[in-house]
């Protein structure tokens, strides 16, 4: 239901582009201000000042008219009017012209001058303002008709257009300056739009966030989204390659074992056990692939979670699974309140559990540490295993990467090389990062997730 007037028709006349709308928002107040100032000035200048100036001239005109009427004859009236007019700055002519009221169409103050002179000088019969620089008055006295003339500048302010020209020039100059500034502010938005449009068409255009803080924030969010989508596409390709590569070996062994089975002889128990191990390895690899795909696509709502009880439950579950892991809360040393972070609990729990599984797989004991700074929270998992060389740490966080020389796979296989990749992706999705370093406490690997404190 429509309430009030419908202004939807105005949309047809509004600019479509952001630059045009921003220019309209900028220019409309400027021109409105100039219009208001101009109207106010005109009213003050052409009415108030003109009335005051006309009122100052009117007593002299009235004095001349009274003196001419009091003269005993026409000759004396002409002589007296000429002499007084010369003294007061008026041109006296008797008998004068047969004048009529006249005024130029653009003479804004002429109406005010004529009205004031008629009201203040009783003998005025006509006000001729056909000459913009001269005022001629037709008066009727006891000795006949006569005229008085004087410069228009005595009753109207001169050069009133100067202020209007100054206002217009200043408004135009400020409009140009504001337009240049507005163009610089809108350029990053246009660049962001082009980069997003190109990415939608499958092209990656170099883009660096710039401009105001809000535009820079939107640009950084776009770059982060684009990088995340690129990583996701790369991970999907690697996952398909990894599935075909990792499943080929156990499938080949299974096919070979099945081809060697004879219907006349019962299968060997050792051979059955080997096939069961192959099936178990394939099941574990497929589950790892599915877990990685599920975590990469996780897009649930974030919650504000108190980390201390959250991590304590993870450690308790690890103990129940038989893992040798110690829980160390370094935030209690300063007596700080329970630190909290905005995260998706299921995704973060799987990431930390993957780090714990990696730690206990490659070492004999592990530690889960929680520390904090004024702006960040750090969740670190350390082990006493062989660690990862510094030059291989970046590669270790890629999906399906196995650094067998640094951290050899356990006997029996089953590791798909996704634990660190899932943790790194989870950290990035929470606005943090995963860093690998050498453990200062156990000597092995230290995998640290850094989050923003709440």
Predicted local distance difference test score (pLDDT) of residue 136? 92
In a domain, 293, yes or no: yes
Are 333 and 375 within one domain? yes
CATH number of the domain that residue 440 is part of: 3.30.565.10
Give Cβ neighbours of residue 97 (< 8 Å, ≥ 6 apart).
136, 138, 147
Q: Are 58 and 159 in contact (CB under 8 A)?
A: no
* Residue pointed to by tokens 């710039």: 210
Give Cβ neighbours of residue 123 (< 8 Å, ≥ 6 apart).
62, 65, 69, 139, 140, 141
Give Cβ neighbours of residue 261 (< 8 Å, ≥ 6 apart).
267
Q: Are 385 and 447 in contact (CB under 8 A)?
A: no
Residues 24 and 452: their CA atoms lie apart, in Å, by 41
Predicted local distance difference test score (pLDDT) of residue 409? 44
Are 56 and 122 within one domain? yes
Residues 409-413 have a mean pLDDT of: 41
In a domain, 195, yes or no: no
CA distances from 145 to 69, 96, 170, 273 (A): 11, 6, 51, 138
Q: Are 376 and 341 in contact (CB under 8 A)?
A: no
Q: Domain ends where: 277, 297, 317?
A: 297
Residues 328 and 238: their CA atoms lie apart, in Å, by 36
Counting the structural domains of the chain, the total is 3
Whole-structure pTM value: 0.48
413, pLDDT greater than 70: no
Residues 408-424 have a mean pLDDT of: 58
Lowest mean pLDDT among 104-118, 126-140, 369-383, 397-411: 397-411
Residues 29-44 have a mean pLDDT of: 74
Lowest mean pLDDT among 9-18, 53-62, 103-112, 164-173: 9-18
Residues 329-355 have a mean pLDDT of: 79
- Tell me the backbone φ, ψ of residue 89, rounded to 5 degrees: 85, 25
One DSSP character per residue, 400-424 reads T---TTTSPPPTT----S-HHHHHH
Predicted local distance difference test score (pLDDT) of residue 172? 80
Are 69 and 138 within one domain? yes
Q: Are 138 and 124 in contact (CB under 8 A)?
A: yes
CATH number of the domain that residue 131 is part of: 3.30.450
Residues 340 and 166: their CA atoms lie apart, in Å, by 61
In a domain, 125, yes or no: yes
**Long-range contacts of range 207-211, CB-CB < 8 Å, 24 or more positions apart?**
211/185, 211/187
Are 62 and 135 within one domain? yes
The radius of gyration of the chain's CA atoms, rounded to the nearest angstrom, is 47
Pull the structure tokens for residue 174.
């400020």
Are 262 and 137 within one domain? no
Q: Report residue 171's pLDDT band, with 50, 70 and 90 as the boundaries.
A: confident
304, pLDDT greater than 70: yes
Pull the structure tokens for residue 139.
């008066």
Pull the structure tokens for residue 33.
């201000």
In a domain, 5, yes or no: no
CA distances from 126 to 11, 74, 98, 100, 219 (A): 53, 21, 9, 5, 73
407, pLDDT greater than 50: no
Q: Which structural domain range is residue 427 located in?
A: 300-402+414-453
In a domain, 190, yes or no: no
Q: Are 116 and 55 in contact (CB under 8 A)?
A: yes
Q: Domain ends where: 297, 328, 351?
A: 297
Are 308 and 439 within one domain? yes
Intra-chain end-to-end CA distance of the chain, in Å:
45
Q: Are 60 and 90 in contact (CB under 8 A)?
A: yes
Are 154 and 15 within one domain? yes
Are 308 and 429 within one domain? yes
Q: Report residue 239's pLDDT band, with 50, 70 and 90 as the boundaries.
A: low
Predicted local distance difference test score (pLDDT) of residue 150? 92
In a domain, 199, yes or no: no
Are 447 and 316 within one domain? yes
- The most confident of the ranges 59-68, 225-234, 408-417 is 59-68
Q: CB-side exposure of 420: number of CA atoms within 13 Å?
A: 26
Predicted local distance difference test score (pLDDT) of residue 382? 93
Q: Which of 381, 387, 383 is nearest to 328 (CA)?
A: 381
Are 120 and 61 within one domain? yes
CATH number of the domain that residue 272 is part of: 1.10.287.130
Predicted local distance difference test score (pLDDT) of residue 294? 63
Q: Are 21 and 14 in contact (CB under 8 A)?
A: yes
One DSSP character per residue, 163-177 reads HHHHHHHHHHHHHHH
Q: Domain ends where: 161, 196, 223?
A: 161
In a domain, 88, yes or no: yes
Q: What is the DSSP letter of 304?
A: E
In a domain, 187, yes or no: no
Are 240 and 288 within one domain? yes
Lowest mean pLDDT among 56-60, 119-123, 174-178, 332-336: 332-336
Q: Report residue 347's pLDDT band, with 50, 70 and 90 as the boundaries.
A: confident
Are 50 and 138 within one domain? yes
């Amino acid at each position: 239901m429509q309430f009030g007037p419908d202004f939807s028709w105005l949309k047809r006349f509004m600019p479509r582009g952001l630059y045009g709308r921003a220019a309209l928002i900028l220019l409309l107040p400027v021109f409105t201000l100039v219009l208001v100032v101009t109207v106010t000035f005109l009213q003050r200048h052409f009415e108030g000042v003109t009335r005051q100036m006309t009122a100052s001239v009117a007593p002299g005109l009235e004095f001349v008219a009274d003196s001419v009427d009091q003269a005993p004859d026409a000759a004396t009236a002409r002589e007296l009017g000429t002499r007084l007019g010369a003294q007061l700055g008026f041109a006296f002519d008797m008998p004068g012209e047969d004048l009529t009221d006249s005024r130029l169409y653009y003479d804004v103050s002429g109406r005010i001058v004529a009205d004031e002179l008629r009201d203040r000088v009783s003998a005025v019969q006509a006000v001729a303002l056909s000459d913009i620089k001269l005022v001629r008055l037709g008066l009727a006295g006891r000795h006949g008709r006569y005229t008085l003339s004087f410069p228009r500048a005595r009753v109207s302010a001169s050069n009133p257009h100067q202020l209007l020209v100054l206002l217009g020039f200043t408004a135009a100059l400020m409009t140009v300056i504001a337009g240049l500034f507005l163009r610089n502010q809108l350029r990053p938005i246009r660049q962001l739009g082009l980069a997003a449009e190109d990415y939608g068409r499958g092209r990656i255009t170099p883009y660096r966030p710039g401009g105001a803080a809000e535009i820079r924030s939107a640009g950084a969010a776009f770059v982060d989204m684009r990088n995340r989508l690129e990583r996701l596409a790369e991970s999907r390709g690697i996952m398909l390659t990894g599935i075909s590569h990792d499943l080929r070996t156990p499938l080949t062994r299974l096919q070979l074992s099945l081809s060697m089975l004879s219907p006349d002889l019962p299968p060997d128990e050792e051979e059955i056990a080997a096939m069961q191990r192959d099936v178990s390895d394939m099941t574990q690899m497929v589950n790892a692939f599915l877990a990685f795909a599920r975590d990469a696509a996780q897009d649930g709502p974030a919650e504000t979670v108190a980390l201390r009880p959250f991590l304590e439950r993870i450690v308790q579950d690890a103990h129940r699974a038989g893992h040798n892991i110690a829980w160390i809360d370094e935030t209690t040393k300063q007596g700080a309140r329970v630190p909290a972070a905005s995260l998706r609990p299921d995704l973060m729990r799987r990431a930390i559990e993957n780090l714990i599984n990696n730690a206990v797989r490659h070492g004999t004991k592990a530690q889960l540490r929680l520390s904090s700074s004024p702006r960040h929270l750090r969740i670190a998992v350390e082990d006493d295993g062989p660690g990862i060389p510094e030059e291989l740490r970046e590669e270790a966080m890629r999906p399906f990467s196995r650094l067998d020389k640094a951290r050899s796979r356990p006997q029996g296989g089953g590791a798909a090389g996704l634990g660190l990749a899932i943790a790194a992706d989870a950290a990035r999705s929470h606005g943090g990062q995963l860093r690998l370093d050498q453990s200062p406490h156990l000597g092995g690997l230290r995998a640290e997730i850094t989050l923003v404190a709440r």
